[in-house]
Structure 1
Amino acid sequence: MRLTNVFLALAAATGLAAASLTWSMAAVPPPQPGTLDRYDITGTYVSGLSSGGYLANQLHVAYSGVFQGAGIFSAGPYDCAQNNVNTALYACMDTFQARKTPAELEQLTRNRASAGTVDPVQNLSGDPVWLFHGGADQTVDRVVNDDLATYYRDFGATVLYNTSTAAGHAWISPIGPNSCGSTSSPYVNNCGAVDPVKDMLSHLYGQVNPAASTLTGKLVQFDQSRYVPGGNAAAVSMGREGFAYVPRACETGPCKLMVTLHGCYQYYGLVGNALMDKGYLNEYADTNNMVVLYPQATTMTGNPRGCWDWWGYQSAQYALKTGPQMAAITNMVKALTNGQPPPTTTTTPPVAECVTANNYAHTTAGRAYAALGQTYANGSNQLLGLWNTFTTSSIRQTSPNYWVRC
């Protein structure tokens, strides 16, 4: 989510309806430490916003034998970025540079399926896909989102594409804390009378029951490193903790599984439980027998905004079945669906490199924060000196969103 577009999006029309509707509001329960246990999962789906939307598409395409549908807020087609950050920024968000056409990316997908690096493309035919692009979204251009719709339709997916809401770049929820046209933290917007979460779930599952007003389930906090190839979540820009909301009904009966992926600047280490609390998925999970898995990314060198890897900052295999983040999330899915234990690994976490920069740059990159003219390292709160472009400091990351002086 690019800060250069915040003010444009804030100036856009909000599209809010009169606040006459009453929505069910149920605070997410406090997390309780645990593990990902096996449940009777009858179908697995994926959803996401922005970088999480790109990763949701990557998971759906690469593991189309696992995921039966996708719901995506504001993202482009499979491997649009082509392992290049400039292409990601200037062709797959803005459109200053030329990008691959949907037809070219479809052929790339077929080639990878033939090589076995992604699942057969025939699996996508008939899958329900729900797409959303807000009218005030200046972060990912509409034409890029249009390419995603074309990509899916060409493979025979059943696509429902919402472009009628004047929303900013955000997850849209009837209990979101931000105004509809906003593009600002925590990137969960309220657009009044519309309920895109219900629309998404209805398209993916069929008719859904009304959202719950009180949650009866539990929020499990688990160690993501157990599911990451190599055993070190921070090494692949994933947070120490992940979460799963499990309704009480899913403890004993069949349920669906929804994997939900946050956007940039929306990870737990930065905004806390904002998406889990205000995204309006748990409320539907309770009344529609649905476990919701919330994996978490974090920052690392090359990824200061805590985005999911959709352009290759962590691995050139980011969009393949062997991509580290892709494999980690599917390991979580396997644990929930068939009880498959995570891979056993014994690794020594590498010592993080020191990052030397001026204190203003540290704060804009998410490594530090400013208070009363001084700069402090995120997590450790160590004093780094004056907040300006002249004072430099060296810090390193010892755990997700935890920085110390070198």
Structure 2
Amino acid sequence: MALFPREFSQRAAQAARVFIAMALLAGLAACSAELPPPLPAITVAPDRVAVAGMSSGAIMAGQAHFAWSDRLRGAALLAGPPYGCAGGSLETALGPCIEARPYLPDPARLAARVRERAAAGQLAPLSGLAGDVVYVLHGRDDTIVAPALANSVAGLYEALSDEAGGLHVEKDTGRAFPHLLPTLDRGVDCTLGGKPWLGRCGFDAAGTMMARLFGEPVGAAAAQAAGELRRFDQAPFAPAGADPGMAESGYLYLPPDCAAGAACGVLVAFHGCQQNAEKIGEAFVRDAGFNRWADVHGVVVLYPQVRSSYLPLNPKACWDWWGYTGEAYDTRDGAQLRWLAAALTALGVPMP
């Protein structure tokens, strides 16, 4: 019996030495690794800034739109739940907000909550929605996020139309595709779906989204984007004292004219769950279709990236729409929305 503790302590000491050595090596490797470059400032046309997203990225785009509608011209929302649906509850998020069961989220109730928050300064004034464009797209073959939720997403905006004169809401729910972002020729077979949640559906969803947000293009997009896709360091935009759950690097697509100094619009494109670069590489940021049309519209595309984690619980790298970053997650005080405001400010967008 006396030998076991000594043997154990010797093994523990040896294990500790190995652990320390590995930690030192890891630290040296981290120091020697090339850090992502900073986000470049561009010349921004402030009246041409919008958001778009798929799935959890769609509701994040909606959260950004309501938080900063006085700085945005609209939102394109693909296959996501309505703003405020979860109410800080993961159980609600996984039930009514995904499956539309046991009930479909009520737009009138959600609109009342938006009014309260806007009046309290937690969201932009409702007048910020005036003249905006909201494009709600959902495939009728979606078996992951119930297509009926598009009615709640569009219904929420429509319930606020009296306070937001000229708000234009378009609901596009008649197309046959599953839970993915449709493309002309990139991604998986459209009828099968799955990773990377881009599908060859013969429908250019990114092009349609950008036409709704920035107007009909003067010409057609080329087969390949002509600009530069850059990585950038996301760490500087984290709010003090809060962890927004962002990855080390994000991406920025810079069309040639924008790189040359032309005044350009900005589109923030939010990936869906399991669609970040950590999970699927650069498939979303390169192949979704936004970059090709960004060249035509004169728009830079910001692709922020969430990281997966188990503490807080977010293993699929979803955007926060149920509260894993804190209670204020879907207001101007939310960690991810504050991160976004800081990143847009650095890019050249005048934020409050």
TM exceeds 0.5?
yes
- Corresponding residue number in structure 2 for 1:238: 246
Tell me which amino acid in the other structure corresponds to 1:74.
A
Q: Is the 8 A contact 2:39 2:233 kept in 1?
A: no
Q: Is the 8 A contact 1:51 1:308 kept in 2?
A: yes
Judging changes above 3 Å, is the alpha-carbon distance between structure 1 residues 339 and 109 closer, same or farther for their aligned structure 2 residues?
Answer: closer
Which residue among 130, 134, 138 is the counterpart of 2:143? 138
- Corresponding residue number in structure 2 for 1:107: 112
CA RMSD in angstroms comes to 1.9
In 2, Cα distance between equivalents of 1:39 and 1:167:
36
| Structure 1 segments (4+ residues) deviating >4 Å | none
In 2, Cα distance between equivalents of 1:258 and 1:132:
17
- Corresponding residue number in structure 2 for 1:34: 37
- Corresponding residue number in structure 1 for 2:164: none
Judging changes above 3 Å, is the alpha-carbon distance between structure 1 residues 339 and 69 closer, same or farther for their aligned structure 2 residues?
Answer: closer
- Corresponding residue number in structure 1 for 2:14: none
- Corresponding residue number in structure 1 for 2:331: 320
Higher mean displacement: 97-106 or 240-249: 97-106
Any residues of structure 2 matched to 1:13-52 within 5 Å, and which?
Answer: 33-42=36-45, 43-52=48-57
Which residue among 256, 263, 272 is the counterpart of 2:281? 272
The unaligned stretches of length 5 or more in structure 2 are 1-34, 162-166
Judging changes above 3 Å, is the alpha-carbon distance between structure 1 residues 339 and 153 closer, same or farther for their aligned structure 2 residues?
Answer: closer
1:260 alignment partner, SS class = strand
Q: What percentage of residue pairs aligned between the two structures are identical?
A: 32
In 2, Cα distance between equivalents of 1:53 and 1:200:
12
Tell me which amino acid in the other structure corresponds to 2:117.
R
Any residues of structure 2 matched to 1:175-324 within 5 Å, and which?
Answer: 175-192=185-202, 194-208=203-217, 209-230=219-240, 235-251=243-259, 252-301=261-310, 302-324=313-335
| CA apart distance, 1:99 | 5.5
Deviations 1:127-167 (A, max 9, x none): 11111110110111122121001111222321122112111
1:131 alignment partner, SS class = strand
2:348 alignment partner, SS class = helix
Q: Is the 8 A contact 1:94 1:139 kept in 2?
A: yes
In 1, Cα distance between equivalents of 2:211 and 2:51:
14
Q: TM-score, normalised by structure 1?
A: 0.72
Q: TM-score, normalised by structure 2?
A: 0.83
In 2, Cα distance between equivalents of 1:145 and 1:210:
29
Q: Is the 8 A contact 1:95 1:141 kept in 2?
A: yes
Name the larger-Rg structure: 2
In 1, Cα distance between equivalents of 2:262 and 2:198:
31
Judging changes above 3 Å, is the alpha-carbon distance between structure 1 residues 275 and 108 closer, same or farther for their aligned structure 2 residues?
Answer: same
Judging changes above 3 Å, is the alpha-carbon distance between structure 1 residues 133 and 148 closer, same or farther for their aligned structure 2 residues?
Answer: same
Higher mean displacement: 92-101 or 128-137: 92-101
In 2, Cα distance between equivalents of 1:151 and 1:339:
27
Q: Is the 8 A contact 1:238 1:298 kept in 2?
A: yes
* Greater helix proportion: 2
| CA apart distance, 1:37 | 2.1
Q: Is the 8 A contact 2:180 2:199 kept in 1?
A: yes
Q: Is the 8 A contact 1:133 1:142 kept in 2?
A: yes
In 1, Cα distance between equivalents of 2:177 and 2:235:
35
Any residues of structure 2 matched to 1:51-70 within 5 Å, and which?
Answer: 51-70=56-75
| CA apart distance, 1:339 | 8.4
The unaligned stretches of length 5 or more in structure 1 are 1-31, 341-406
Q: Is the 8 A contact 2:104 2:152 kept in 1?
A: no
In 2, Cα distance between equivalents of 1:115 and 1:223:
33
Deviations 1:30-66 (A, max 9, x none): xx94322222221110000000000000000011112
Q: Is the 8 A contact 2:150 2:173 kept in 1?
A: no
* Greater strand proportion: 1
| CA apart distance, 1:325 | 0.7
1:93 alignment partner, SS class = helix
In 2, Cα distance between equivalents of 1:246 and 1:145:
32
Tell me which amino acid in the other structure corresponds to 2:303.
Y
| CA apart distance, 1:71 | 0.6
Judging changes above 3 Å, is the alpha-carbon distance between structure 1 residues 231 and 215 closer, same or farther for their aligned structure 2 residues?
Answer: farther
- Corresponding residue number in structure 2 for 1:148: 153
Which residue among 116, 124, 127 is the counterpart of 2:129? 124
| CA apart distance, 1:126 | 2.2
In 2, Cα distance between equivalents of 1:117 and 1:214:
41
1:92 alignment partner, SS class = helix
